[in-house]
Structure formats: C-alpha cells, structure tokens
Structure 1
Amino acid sequence: MSSETYDVIIIGGGTSGLVLANRLSEDPNLQVIVLESGQDRSADPNTLTPGAWPLLSNSPADWTFQTVPEKDLKRQITIPQGKALGGSSAINSFLFTSTSKANVEGWRNLGNEGWDYATYEEALEKSFTLHKSQGVAEGQGPLQLTLATGETLWEKAWISGLESVGFPRTDPLSGRLGGAIIAPESINPSTKQRSYAANAYLDPVRSRPNLAVRTETTVTKVLLERPSTDADAVAKGVQFISKDGSPQTIGVRKEVIISAGAINSPRLLELSGVGDGSLLQRLGINVVVDNSHVGENLQNHLFTGLTFEARDDVDTIDAFFRQEADAVGAAMQDYATKGTGPMATSNMVTMAQLPLPEFHSEEGRKELDGLFSALGAGSGSPATTPAFAAAHERFVRSVLTSPSEAVGNYVFGSAYAPFDAPSPTYRAPGKHVSVAIELSHPLSRGSVHITSADRERTGTSEGLTVDCRYLSHPLDLEVLARQVRFTEDMISRAEPLTRYLKPYSKRFTDLEAAKDYVRRTADGAYHYTGTCSMMPRAMGGVVDNRLRVYGCSNLRVCDASVVPLEPTANPQAVVYAVAEMGAKFIKEDLR
C-alpha cells in the first residue's frame, strides 16, 4: 500500500462526485481526494456554449459505450456518458426537471427509510439558484439555473394548446406534475454559459488545502479486505492508473465512495470482487462479496417522436439545425453579442409531463388489468427478484391509473427531428415542429457486466457488456404506442398550437400501426439508472438506504446507479439531489 493516504477517496469527478467533494471538504479535518478518468474541460468552448452540446457526443469527453444489439428494436444504441470533470453534467443537455413526489415515495416504499419526498426536496433545493425573469432569483445553491419567460410564439402555443385540452401549466420542480412545463436550464444567466458540477461545485473550493483532484486517473480496483469470514469487507484503498500510465495505489482511513455513473460504478464493483460470484470466478477475480444484483436493474427512458409541418409564415429553427451558413452565422452573432438565440439554449425547454387518460376510467382500468394479466408478471428481466418485479409493477400501475401522475415526458421543439428519417443526420427541408415522446416509467430492465478483468480496459468503453433489453417487458410497447396515438390526437385538438401547423392526416388511429412505429423508430435517452440499486439486499439491492454497499463496512456508491425506479424525466436534478443527500449521510456517519 502506498504511504499516500486520505480520509475519503471519491472515485469519479462527475456530477455526484464533485457535489461530494464540495460538501465533504467543508470539514477541514477530512482529507478528501477525487480521482477522475477524464480531463478538466472547463475551458472548452463546446463544453461552455449551450447550443454546442450535441458536438460533445463521440468526443474525448464521452465514454461512448455501445449496447449489445437490441432484440426488440431495429438499432444498436450509443450511450453517451461524461468522461471529464463534471461527468455527464459536462456533456448532456441542460434540462433541470425534478421527478414526482410519487416517484421518490416509490423509492422509500421499497424499504429505503429516510427517502421521503420532503427530505429529497430539501436536498434538491440545496443544489441550485433559480433565476427567473426581471432578475428574480430563488435559492442559494451552487448550480445556476435560467428559466425562460415562456413568451415566444411556440412556447405560448404549446402551453396554451395543452391548456385547451385539459392540461394546465405545472412547476417542474414542485413534485406535482401532469401538465405543460417550461423547463429551467443549467445555464448561468450572467455568463450565458453551462453551469455544471465542475464550475458550480468544484471551482469555488479548488483551493481548499484538504481537497485534491486528479484527472486522467483511472481507478481499476477498490482494495477490499475481509477481517474474518463472517465480517464485512473493509476498503483499504484503491488501485489506479495514473496520468503517466503507471499503476499506483492510495490508502484510505475512513471511506471510499464510488461515483462513476450507472455504467462504470457496477463495473468497478465487479472488478473489485463485489458482484455475481460465478461471473467473477470465470474472469479470475477473487470474490469478496457475492451479490448477483450488482449491474442489474438498468433502466432508461425509451423514446420516439412525431414531426409536423409548420406554416410557411412562422419562424422555426430548422435552418440552424440544417447548419445553413446564414442561420449559423446569425446564431453565433446573437450569442456573441447578446447571449441569445439557438446557441444560448438547449432548444428543448418547452415540455410536458402528462398522464395517459385512457387508463383513468373504469373501462380503462379493466383493460389495464387485462394487459398485466395477459403479458405476465416479472417479464422485465430474468435476474429481477419476484419481490422487486411485483413492487415495480405495482408502482407503474399506480402511475398509469392516476389522473395526476405523469406516464410520459414530452419535449417540444420548433425544428425537424429525425425520428422516422433515412438517417439520424437527416434534416428535412421546410419548417417543422417536433415532439419527442418518452416512456417515463419503463418496466423493461437490463444489465451492465464486465467481460474482462484486464485493468488496461478500465479507462475505455471495452471490457463490459451493456444490455438495455428495451421492450423486453411487453407493457412498455403497449404504453409507448398509446402515447404516440395520444400525442397525435392531443395536438389535433390543441387549436392554439394547431393554428400554426399545416393540415395533416392522423397516422396512428390503429394501435398496431403505432406499435410498429415504436419498434422501428425508438431510441434510448441518456437517462441511465438502477445498476447499484438502493433497496433491501433480498429484494435486489446493492446499497442500503445510506448508500453503503452490502457486505462492505466503508464503501458506498453515490450517483444515478443507486436510483431504483427511473425518474419521470431528465435525471440531472435527481442526481444532484441524490448527491446532496449522500453527502449529508456520509457527514453524519463520519462524525
């Protein structure tokens, strides 16, 4: 073991890891170190410029994982995960939408004491400052959020259109969803640049003498020792490959915290001997804690979408999306001189989180009962315990039958999106609007597992298998196809929006046609959770309600991987809240 020793080692300088670094180093008596595999890209213009975020996929700041071929979809799916200080908060879009109260209470109902919504909301509010119009700011958290006024033509048309068909505007940070949303973005209104974990949480505290941060440093193993056969394993330190390529170790006095994300956190546990014993033995890894749930319960939002032609006399940002020289030049000029235009935003703030009305009537509930009965219980993953499969289905059923809970997340944009296009890069001529349609609460569950114990692969996208198993639970196809049909019907009746569209004919009155469309066009969002789930071990858990790894006395996981039930929409806000809660638990336990 190296003579270099810290009180707390944080593996991963992403969204969660930098929240922990800030909060734990508030105690001057704790020596904290963060080890991040990626670079510090806080000076990169593409990182900081909001409208440039699509350029960050498949860049050096992205792990760029690939799923195995999907049995029930027509495509293999790329998984962007941030490989830089700030993690995915440095490369993904900016939408800051919390989840519903029912979702958080669903986590608690799995057996996670302390995860009530009031506690979660307190942690969430600690993370941000929300800037509204006329200079009004709420909160004192490090992350800076900008809320658009909602006064553009398309924003007003979307809000008014949904109100006209019975869905009022809602507050995306309230925990009470079910209507149209103007989403806050993690953009600093003073600088017009991305606000993310690196410049919000880390930069203000980089000079603390008790905090060290090392980039381009890939941890390959947590060093675990078991004092006796019936005792919990103890983390003594970590092995890593340093920036110069040499293998090194660091010792730990108190805690090791893995915050490497939904793909890399289970990978690191397995490389360290925590996982399915049979898998680890096949790869020549010493089994420290035999827990077959590690890497299971991978969840993500599946989405498709619809496009509609806009009238010729209204403005859209299609020309910018087609990268036409004049439109790009004007956008760059607007951003450089005024901090406005399509380069100043994700261009996706107009949203809705909506119920699915067809399951709210007595007849609809009977149909849903029939679907659950016909489709079979627990079909989302063969590795899921019966107890969790039943709990997951109870939760999803409760959402589907509630008039006030969001079944789907809908993202509206004033440009063509290639849902049903010849290629992902295709951009149609003319003017369009698009609606992305996400399945908020999938029952399909996948997995992440290592395929090699070779430490040289740990800093790459190789040496592991990601199997999302999209649509493996048949109810997901049923619900998402009905969302497609519902979206088309809803927009056809939303006159304040439809008045700006060209006439069109409905394509999906037939449910089977909608199902075929979903199979052909669906893709995965960047919202991966669940692979180190927080719940009782017997139910399928990897960590307990204070994020401690089962079978280990001083090892925790704190990131999106611990979330056991997928949030309703973009998980950025959820991850910040989880990290704030984790920091509170750790500080309490280290006293």
Structure 2
Amino acid sequence: MSSTLFDFVIVGGGTAGLVVASRLSENSAHRVLVLEAGSDHSDDPRVKTPAFYATLFQSDADWGFKSEPQPQLNGRSIGLHQGRALGGSSAINAQVFVPPGKHAIDAWEESGNPGWNWQGLESYYARSHTLAGATQTTDGHSPLEQNFHSPIQLSLSGDPVHAIQEAWKGTFQAEGHYVSSDPWLDQPTGAFSSLATVDASTKERSYSTTAYYHPIKNRNNLQVLTDAVVERIIFETEGSATRATGVQYRYDDKIQTVTAAKEVIVAAGALQSPKLLELSGVGNSEILSRNGIQVVKELPGVGENLQDHVVCPIGIQAVDELETMDPLARQEPDAIAHAMQQYATEQKGMLASSGMTTYAYVPITAELSQDTTEALKKLLHQNQPKVGHAHGSLAADLHGFVTKTLTDSTKPSGVFLSVLSQAGPTPVPGTWLTLVAYLPHPLSLGSVHIKSKQPLESPAIDPKYLSHPVDIEILAHQMRYLGHFAASSPFSKLLKQPLHYMDPAAEFADIDDAKEYLRSNAISMWHYAGSCAMLPEEKGGVVDTRLKVHGINNLRIVDSSVVPIITTGNLQSTVYAIAEKAADLIKADYGEV
C-alpha cells in the first residue's frame, strides 16, 4: 500500500503504537500508517533471548539518552534507555510484567479524569495478555477474566522451584507482609513471583511486534514504515479551530509528508512525545519562542510532570551451591556455550529468564518506628506544594496521594525485587544475589524539553531525581530494610555468613550512610511517565480523558506520557492497557463501538 493519504497516522511503532495500529486496522475501511524511527529487530537473538536484554542498551535498538546532571545524585548524568526499534521499549526491556497497584490507578480519576480508575481499566489489562496454562497462575487462578484475543504471552519468570522463590516469600511472610500467589487477583502488599513477557512454549520475548504486529502484518489496510523519523506534526487553522492534518518525516534521507484524514496519533513515549509537540508548536510559549518555533497552541504542561522510578541495588554474596547467572555476567566461555545449547535444545536454563523472578510491594512505614513515622509526616507537611507551582495542581494531587499511601498500612509505599546475579559494573568471582529497592510514587517531578528546533537533537531530560526531600528519606529507609531482610530467615540461608556486600558501603550504619549510597549508586529504572499528562488543561494537563490534545482537533497521544501519576510497578502492563482502551475510545468516536 503506497499512499500519501491515510485515515490514521501513528507516530511511533512501539509498545502502544502497534497495539493501536492492530486494533484500528481490524476495520478494513481504515487506512493505517505507522511511522517508526527504529528498525525491525524481531530476528535479533538479543531481542528474542530473555537473558540478553541488557546487551541491547547503547545499541542501535536504544535511543541511549542521558539525563541532565542530577544534583541529588552527586551531579551524575543518568543513562536513560528507550527502545529505538519496532516494538519500542517492549523490545529491549527486562520483560517484567507486574500489576500496577489499584490505588494508583484510582488516583488518576481523583485527579480529574472520570472513568480512568481500576474498575474501568481492569478489563484492558486482561485484554492485552495471556498466561500460559489456560491463563492460570501458580495456584490455578486466572489473573483476570479473559474473553478477548489477548496477544502478549506471559509465563512465570525463571525456574518456579528455584530456592529463591520460597526463601523470598517465606521471609516476607515471617515479617508480617501478606504473600500472594496471584497478585493480579487481590493485589496485596507482600511478596509474589514475577510474571514475564516470555512465551512459555518458545521461551522467547513476547512483545508488541511479535504479539500485535506479526499476526496481522499482511493486512492490506496497514502499512508500517521503519527507519522513518517524524520531524513535526502539520496543522491547519481555520478561525479559532486548529487541527492536525498530517506529519512531516524523514525517510531514505528525504523529507516526506503524509496526510491523516481522521487523526494523527502520537505514541513516541514519554521522552519523545513532548519533544514532537514542541517541535510542532505545541507547548510552553517561552520555550517555543526561545527555540524559534511559532506557537500553534499554548500548552504549558507539555514536557512537565515527568516521573520515573529511581532504583538502587545492593549485591550480597550467596552460598556457592546456589544457581545464579553470574557465569554469564563474567562471560565465561564454557558457561555461555552450555547455556546456549540448553536454551536451543530444551528452551530452558540461564538464558530463558532475565533473572528478575521475585517482587514485593511493602508498606514501608510499617517497618519504621513511631518517631520516624511522625518525622516523615512532619516533612510531608513542611513540603506541601506552593500555589503557582511549576507543575500545576498535579503536584498537590500527588502530594495528597503519597501522604495517604504512606500512612496506610494496606498500601505499598516501597517496592523490592531480586536479581539472580551480580549487578556491579565490573564482573567479579563468586556467587551473588542482588537485592533492589525502588520508590514507587516519587514526589519529585521533572521535565523534558527541546534544546533547539533541530529534530535529530536529543531533548534535555531532567527527572530531578530525589529533589523532593521526602523521596530520599523513604528510599533510604527502603535501602536499610534490604539489609534487615538479607539477615532474616529463611532468606539468610541463601547467603554466606557473615554477610558480605559487593560494595562495603552498602552495609549502612545509619540513615545518612544509606542516603550517601543512594547519591552514588541510584539510577533510573527506565519507567518514564507523565510528560503529557492526562489532566484538565487548567491543572497543567496536555490530553483529556479521550487522550485528545487540549485545544487541537484530530490529535491524540497514546503512550506512558499521558499517565498522570506513575503506577506502583513496572509500566509495561499499564502501557498495553492504556493502548487497548485508547483503541476503543477512537473506535467509539467514529461510531464503531
């Protein structure tokens, strides 16, 4: 299908973009074009093999962004990975597929988005995925009722009988934190086994390219163009009405344009969707004017409210007999050869998993003394957002949500996971486990904006990690809890005694030690959200509840940038759910649902 006119032009063939393309092209009357800046890497063994995901970082499948220097992280610029490939970040992520936390989804509606709550989104989470074994988890329950074609194939991550599974759950249970074998059903606080976007039959990555695009790629009404970089959205103004009519893109080193008869749908991700809007004249007029761009629509929220999960690991030496992925981390030839043969012939072994097999959602304040809890409440009160805050009233909503979460013993305010391998920059001998903590709901709000009007220049990304004083307090207490957890039975039985940390600085004497460790070691978990937030325009929003850009006709955004408050867990499952719902919203607007 060769044309310069389509009904829907989708900018970005990533996690969300291919979902929307698949669903819209179900109607043969719709002519759908997807423009993806990256290439198709679906035959790349680094993409297909679960354990090789990290080898894609800084490759041609990764945009390889860097943050602005972060003052609270000792001035470090943090590596920010985003998939530059058909399938987007679903092609290079660690395949973790965990529930979002119902309370976080409900907070979206409370911020001014009617219909965007857990009840309204639950069925769309179910629509995106199928769990191997008749959609059953370890105890035979279905994660969610499923009566729709659900493309993404899930399986339990790693070996379900590995010693870490029972040790992890048993320790959290002993600590008084509920343990669930099916977190999708009751979404508790406590420990659970992680699901992964890995096909149980092939043990290969299941992602938007293989699950949503490949089965329908021969549809006559769908065209997917890779290595096509969209440079700007084309607008037309009549009177007071402005509408998107198409896009300009670069392909084969030539500038081309395409017309969208119905809509332009931006699905470029939380780091690139605001960039494209600004390049096209939509955003804060001061930023646009500074870069020589004519203002099409004044929308100050574009590029603001950026949220991300800041994560920090500690490595602890394990008993020699524990099976880990350390030989792969050290690139031992014999171990790699054995693992590759086992994976090729039996579809199992070290290469069949990312090594992230266990998770826990914990009300971290339940682990703190009364005095510490009171001090946190005081700190929260002292740092309430001021009127006229740069991020609009979302900061106030977020502050209220986090305050409520931190003071509710049934809501998770800390997240922990394990990795069956060392995670240091330089491989070392021995057998290691890595324990990881991350902050599920940061109060720190960052930004992403253009540096110039040159389409190929990377944006200025400033997540402002740990800039809110409450964030570093909570995360520091989480880091200290990791040490307590490692010393607790039965998990301690997996570790050499006395405990030996890969970095001696991880043996914290007090909370200040933990903060200093964070400043030197915390990084991004690559869960970017919020930079084109779904909120009323007067609250700093960029899109409305139908994901339409405020004040512009025929333009929507469908990706993690619309998330107003970041979810508890990894964003992958939520992006699929948003895209599934978006497809229904679009169909309904054209009388199809």
TM range (shorter): over 0.9
Instruction: Kindly report which structure 2 residues correspond to 1:360-439, keeping only aligned pairs within 5 A, or say none.
Output: 365-374=373-382, 376-378=383-385, 383-385=390-392, 387-418=393-424, 424=425, 426-439=426-439
Partner of 2:459: 464
CA distance in 1, matches of 2:204, 2:123: 26
Partner of 1:38: 38
Instruction: Kindly report which structure 2 residues correspond to 1:292-331, keeping only aligned pairs within 5 A, or say none.
Output: 292-331=300-339
Question: Is the 1:372–1:475 Cα contact (8 Å) retained in structure 2?
Answer: yes
Partner of 2:199: 188
CA distance in 2, matches of 1:528, 1:206: 29
Instruction: Kindly report which structure 2 residues correspond to 1:205-224, keeping only aligned pairs within 5 A, or say none.
Output: 205-224=216-235
Query: Which string of whole-angstrom CA distances, capped at 9 and with x for unpartnered residues, describes residues 379-437 of structure 1?
Result: 8995212x22111111011111121211122111232222xxxxx2x123222211111
CA distance in 2, matches of 1:401, 1:29: 52
Partner of 2:265: 257
CA distance in 2, matches of 1:447, 1:331: 42
The Cα RMSD (Å) is: 2.1
* AA at the equivalent of 1:449: H
Question: Is the 1:217–1:241 Cα contact (8 Å) retained in structure 2?
Answer: yes
* Gapped regions of structure 1 (runs ≥ 5): 419-423
Question: Is the 1:381–1:446 Cα contact (8 Å) retained in structure 2?
Answer: no
CA distance in 2, matches of 1:199, 1:537: 37
CA distance in 2, matches of 1:380, 1:319: 54
CA distance in 2, matches of 1:428, 1:172: 35
Does the C-alpha gap of structure 1 residues 503 and 466 become closer, same or farther in structure 2, counting only changes over 3 Å?
same
Partner of 1:340: 348
Partner of 1:550: 550
Does the C-alpha gap of structure 1 residues 497 and 3 become closer, same or farther in structure 2, counting only changes over 3 Å?
closer
Query: Which string of whole-angstrom CA distances, capped at 9 and with x for unpartnered residues, describes residues 180-225 of structure 1?
Result: 1211111111222111000100111111111111111111111112
Q: How far 1:515 moved relative to its partner? A: 1.2
Question: Is the 1:448–1:464 Cα contact (8 Å) retained in structure 2?
Answer: yes
CA distance in 2, matches of 1:381, 1:263: 25
Q: Which moved more, 1:340-349 or 1:314-323?
A: 314-323
Partner of 2:519: 519
CA distance in 1, matches of 2:365, 2:398: 21
2:488 matches 1:500? no
CA distance in 1, matches of 2:323, 2:199: 26
2:185 matches 1:174? yes
Instruction: Kindly report which structure 2 residues correspond to 1:120-269, keeping only aligned pairs within 5 A, or say none.
Output: 120-132=121-133, 139=146, 140-148=149-157, 150-170=160-180, 171-174=182-185, 176-228=187-239, 230-231=240-241, 233-242=242-251, 244-269=252-277
| Runs of 4+ residues deviating >6 angstroms | 133-137, 359-362
Query: Which string of whole-angstrom CA distances, capped at 9 and with x for unpartnered residues, describes residues 450-505 of structure 1?
Result: 111123x1xxxx24211111111111110000111122123322x11112212236
Partner of 1:356: 364
* AA at the equivalent of 2:465: Y
Q: How far 1:271 moved relative to its partner? A: 0.8
Query: Which string of whole-angstrom CA distances, capped at 9 and with x for unpartnered residues, describes residues 288-327 of structure 1?
Result: 1011110011111111122222223433332222111222
Q: How far 1:365 moved relative to its partner? A: 4.7
Does the C-alpha gap of structure 1 residues 101 and 270 become closer, same or farther in structure 2, counting only changes over 3 Å?
same
CA distance in 2, matches of 1:380, 1:443: 16
Give the secondary-structure state (helix, strand or coil) at the position aligned to 2:265: strand
Query: Which string of whole-angstrom CA distances, capped at 9 and with x for unpartnered residues, describes residues 25-65 of structure 1?
Result: 11111111111111111111111111111111111111111
CA distance in 2, matches of 1:541, 1:174: 32
Question: Is the 2:70–2:465 Cα contact (8 Å) retained in structure 1?
Answer: yes
CA distance in 2, matches of 1:450, 1:428: 40
Question: Is the 1:13–1:34 Cα contact (8 Å) retained in structure 2?
Answer: yes
Partner of 1:477: 472
CA distance in 2, matches of 1:42, 1:190: 17
TM-score (norm 1): 0.93
Give the secondary-structure state (helix, strand or coil) at the position aligned to 1:428: coil
CA distance in 2, matches of 1:379, 1:473: 13
Q: How far 1:363 moved relative to its partner? A: 5.2
Give the secondary-structure state (helix, strand or coil) at the position aligned to 1:261: coil
Partner of 2:579: 579
TM-score (norm 2): 0.93
Partner of 1:90: 91
Query: Which string of whole-angstrom CA distances, capped at 9 and with x for unpartnered residues, describes residues 70-117 of structure 1?
Result: 111132111111111100000111011120110000111101011121
Give the secondary-structure state (helix, strand or coil) at the position aligned to 2:410: coil
Partner of 2:503: none
Give the secondary-structure state (helix, strand or coil) at the position aligned to 2:337: helix
CA distance in 2, matches of 1:102, 1:120: 12
Instruction: Kindly report which structure 2 residues correspond to 1:88-127, keeping only aligned pairs within 5 A, or say none.
Output: 88-127=89-128
CA distance in 2, matches of 1:295, 1:16: 19
CA distance in 2, matches of 1:311, 1:46: 30
Q: How far 1:175 moved relative to its partner? A: 6.1
CA distance in 2, matches of 1:446, 1:17: 24
Q: How far 1:283 moved relative to its partner? A: 1.6
Give the secondary-structure state (helix, strand or coil) at the position aligned to 2:433: strand
Partner of 2:484: 489
CA distance in 1, matches of 2:276, 2:233: 8
Does the C-alpha gap of structure 1 residues 300 and 134 become closer, same or farther in structure 2, counting only changes over 3 Å?
closer
Question: Is the 2:245–2:554 Cα contact (8 Å) retained in structure 1?
Answer: no
CA distance in 2, matches of 1:372, 1:484: 20
CA distance in 2, matches of 1:381, 1:102: 27
Partner of 1:570: 570
Partner of 1:589: 589
Does the C-alpha gap of structure 1 residues 398 and 581 become closer, same or farther in structure 2, counting only changes over 3 Å?
same
Give the secondary-structure state (helix, strand or coil) at the position aligned to 2:589: helix
Does the C-alpha gap of structure 1 residues 133 and 248 become closer, same or farther in structure 2, counting only changes over 3 Å?
closer
Q: How far 1:156 moved relative to its partner? A: 1.6
Does the C-alpha gap of structure 1 residues 3 and 289 become closer, same or farther in structure 2, counting only changes over 3 Å?
same
Does the C-alpha gap of structure 1 residues 313 and 470 become closer, same or farther in structure 2, counting only changes over 3 Å?
same
* AA at the equivalent of 1:261: G
CA distance in 2, matches of 1:512, 1:360: 15
CA distance in 2, matches of 1:211, 1:280: 34
Does the C-alpha gap of structure 1 residues 167 and 337 become closer, same or farther in structure 2, counting only changes over 3 Å?
same
* AA at the equivalent of 1:226: T
Question: Is the 1:172–1:183 Cα contact (8 Å) retained in structure 2?
Answer: no
Question: Is the 1:359–1:368 Cα contact (8 Å) retained in structure 2?
Answer: no
Q: How far 1:358 moved relative to its partner? A: 3.9
Query: Which string of whole-angstrom CA distances, capped at 9 and with x for unpartnered residues, describes residues 547-579 of structure 1?
Result: 000110110000010001111121110100011
Give the secondary-structure state (helix, strand or coil) at the position aligned to 1:126: helix
CA distance in 2, matches of 1:102, 1:580: 20
* AA at the equivalent of 1:107: W
Q: How far 1:266 moved relative to its partner? A: 0.4
Give the secondary-structure state (helix, strand or coil) at the position aligned to 2:270: helix
* AA at the equivalent of 1:176: Q
Question: Is the 2:105–2:118 Cα contact (8 Å) retained in structure 1?
Answer: yes
Question: Is the 1:379–1:473 Cα contact (8 Å) retained in structure 2?
Answer: no
* AA at the equivalent of 2:417: V
Q: How far 1:174 moved relative to its partner? A: 3.4
CA distance in 1, matches of 2:407, 2:531: 27
Question: Is the 2:231–2:276 Cα contact (8 Å) retained in structure 1?
Answer: yes
Give the secondary-structure state (helix, strand or coil) at the position aligned to 1:187: coil
